[in-house]
Structure 1
Amino acid sequence: MEIKGIDFLQFLDVTKMSEEDKKSWEAVSESFKKASVEFFKGNIDMDKLKEEIARSIKASDDFKKPNLDEFVKGEEYKKKMEEVEKTLLDMKGEMETASKGGNKEKSLEEQLREGLKDCIKIKDGVEKVNLRKACEESPARRKKITLSISQKAGTIISGGVAPHTGIYLDPKLSVDPRQQTVIRRFANIASIGDRMVYITEYVPGAGNAEWVPEGGLKPAMDAALTETNVSLGKVALTAKFSEETLTDLPQLVAEVRAEIISRIGIKEEDGILNGTGAGGEIVGVLPSVPGFVLTDLTVPTPNMYDAIVASYTQIVSTSKMNYRPNLVLMNPIDVATMRLTKDSQGRYLLPFKYGDELIDDLRTESSTAVNQGEFFMGDFNFLNIRDRTDLEITWGWENDDFTKNLVTCLGEKRLLVYIKKQYITAFLYDSFENVITAITA
């Protein structure tokens, strides 16, 4: 397994730096990349890695300037170094696990039990959790546990601005997959170590493959390559529980699943589709997805099912079978409408096949992130979700929680989503009304 160093600049907000300051940090980053490789290989420990960063800073006259000197001595830089340490330790742990043959998926209960093991006692055959003790013994009186989400694809941890290189690891631990968003079960998912992803998009032009005689001129295709970046967003939620409610481990698991994981999942899915990019939200994919434009298909008295088949046909025909839609997301009311549709004699039409499939290998799933009367279909292997951090759960006290025997639970995660331009025709987003009108004979 090839090991690449980590770019230290990914932990800093370079957009607010002058070009001169950025160059100063680039020199530090080069030393950090080399040291991080040695850390991953086990040749140095975390303390030595920190020493290398400090040595690089002291060796540069640039950091004697008031603004940089003040920064590296301040609280913000201290917090950055804590983030660096956590990220690298997590990555090294994943690499070590992967080298031993991968991970065994753990349930939400197993992960919480492991994170709270020092505060759990068995009483009358029931696992009792002492969250007060867990908070009191944790830094800043905040108990934090990271819950990893299972992924279909291998984990990609970017080594810097080059998004397609990095350290490839086995899938991480998982929470109960039923609590994940629908889209996550079908999308291309990976983890990243950067605050943003730089992607290279290929926009094909004229020309195509042709049969050529021996010695004949080979056809050429015009194409354009563009580079763009996609930034992270954060989704978070806090909820208050009584200490008594969270005393039993099974009850704690149930509350975290219902009040934190599920609610964050719902908001995440809405952001993946409809995010505006404002107020910390990610930019959703729907604004860039094409609608129905096929003109060669007509149906007498078409219905919603016909609209789905026509949309599927557009994707596979225009791509010459390069894309095979595997998911159509519909509002729950529209799914119910299709299921309850009857013929003139009152018999259910039942277009759904076994496993909620409308067409072979095309799953139908409900999502409130899709407006009633609309649907989103595509080959979701080309929809990319990149997780910067797994779901983090933190327990602690705020205001008068302590005197009221309450515990505040905070859940948060950071992610981004994108579809490359060359694969945008693998998707379709439109209304049933528009498609039905377009295919009516």
Structure 2
Amino acid sequence: MTVAPERDAEIATSRHKALPVVAIDEPHRRLPGLRLPHLPSERLRSSRTSLGTGFLGLAATFVAVLLLCFDLARFAGEWEAYAEPGLAAMAWLLLAGLLVVLAVAARTAGDVLDSIVSLGIVGGLGVVVALDTAAVWQNGDLGRDLTAAPAVGFVLLAMVGVRSSRSITAAAALLGISLAILVGISALRAPLPPAGVVDALTMIAKAVAPPIIAAWIVHVFRRIISTELERVLVASTTTAPRFSVGMLASEELARLDLAAEQLMDGIASGRTRLPLNPAAAQAAAELATELRLHLIEGRRQTWLYHAITESELLGRSVTLSDPESLAGLLDPTQRDGLLSAVWLMLGDAPERSRRSAARVTIEITVGPARPTEGKGRTMRVPIVVQTTGVARGRVDPATWDAMRKVGRHTDSQRGGSLCVEIDCVVDRPAER
């Protein structure tokens, strides 16, 4: 993401860091630790992928338990057919224990299961596969006789709500490869009939397909939640003043303000002696510098700059060129229309793959301003939206409705990609 007129401000922002405040001389009389405020945006960003995932995890666990009960009943009905039924019973007991551990760990961990715990569970599932295979190895038909080993996939199914989709898919793929290798080794000892091959393929598919499908569903759901929450947060910038700090910078400014208040309170109450000791003086100087940088950087940053830089999706695909900061002159309706059009052209639908989304880029050029004919209170601000990888025929019709909110527009094809020129009429800054 590159934004032309705000490059210096970005450099200043990157220098922000947590500043310790040492406001007194004696250790036992130091100021209490800062309890810094947090904006709703940070809380939403930190939990964006967990909203509703817990309910999907409960549903997946319920389905997994039902499938496990089916295989457990099949195991009980074929008890006498096992060469080593004790090993199979141990495999099922271990599988049940791992499921209980997963339930307890997921309950205490919250939204994400600890990696060490998940690795331990996956390792235990590997032991289950080994025990169940050893119990039926002498029979020679693993596809028909294995019960606990394919049920391992159902435990992975129960983990989709507390682990990443990538890790679940990798574990399911490893399970499928392991079962295929075991079936192949067994077939070398005693060739399988066609019915045995079908049983083996069915067993592997039953073990691998449920967790992979569930992981894909949860992945799509998380992308929907993440995209919509990000869009709501970014849309809040449409009501900002012409020049302002963004959501993240506002939180940093609140943190610095609180630190300065605590420092001043220590001086006013007499807890901090004057003159300040070197550590306190250094902290005060750093606070003053950071506050001054925030005041300076907000003079040229518009709502559109913050909407792009504070969005993960827009930040990696959209380039803004607004040397005169004219985007700040747009009214809230025009801002909402422009932002909605950019989202729609990017193809923020969750079904779009990351690879195809990476090929789509948008360059927004704002200005230079032109006077309107016969109307002294308004002026024209041309906005050019140049896309790469966006064909006109694939643009959502809602995009054009959003463009009309901004102003009159014309579109053309340049190199197979869409280019939109918008003639936006805004009030002059002096008239605002």
The structure that is helix-richer by fraction is 2
CA radius of gyration, larger in: 2
**How does the TM-score come out when normalised to structure 1?**
0.20
**How does the TM-score come out when normalised to structure 2?**
0.20
The structure that is strand-richer by fraction is 1
